[in-house]
Structure formats: structure tokens, C-alpha cells
Amino acid sequence: DRTTLHRVWRVILALLASAVAVACFFAPVLLVVIGVLLLLLVCARFVYRRRDRYIPNLYSRDIAVYEDDYQAFVRRTMSDL
């Protein structure tokens, strides 16, 4: 059941967040390390902006909405199949 799975996921996230909070309370250096990692992640998002592949409709047969390179890739792989 999806509702049960969602509840389990929320409980796991809550326990993980609580464990991190307790660990940061007893070892404040962890808070600095986590903050630096988050800052690096945000900086990486700015540096590598627009380098991901956004597929508007993954199962669409109309590939005209995709970039030219990706259209060529789809045509090439479909012909191989």
C-alpha cells in the first residue's frame, strides 16, 4: 500500500534527521562539515547549470520537443532495436 510506504518513508526521514541533530549537538564540528557539504552542493548546481537532461515526457513518441542531439540519439538507438 502506498500510504503505508509513505508513512514508513516519513518515519525513516524523521529518525535520520533526529540522529543528525543529536550527533551535531554532541559533536558541533559535524554541523560545520554538513554545512560545507551543502554549500559545495549549491555551488556545484550553479557551476553545472543547464547540463542535465530534462525529458518533458519520457514515454512520448513525439521527439520533436527534445534537443537535436537527443533526437539523433533516440533515432539511432531506435533503429538499432
Note down pLDDT in tens along the chain; length 81 residues.
Answer: 678 888 999 999 999 999 999 999 999 999 999 999 999 999 988 887 776 665 555 555 667 777 888 888 888 888 776
Q: Identify the pLDDT of residue 57.
A: 57
List Cβ neighbours of 23 (8 Å cut-off, separation of 6 or more): 30
Contact 23, 31 (CB under 8 A): no
- Please count the CA atoms within 13 angstroms of the CA of 25 that sit on its side-chain side: 6
What is the distance between the alpha carbons of residues 44 and 5, in angstroms, rounded to a whole number?
A: 32
Cβ neighbours around 2 below 10 Å, total: 6
pTM above 0.75, yes or no: no
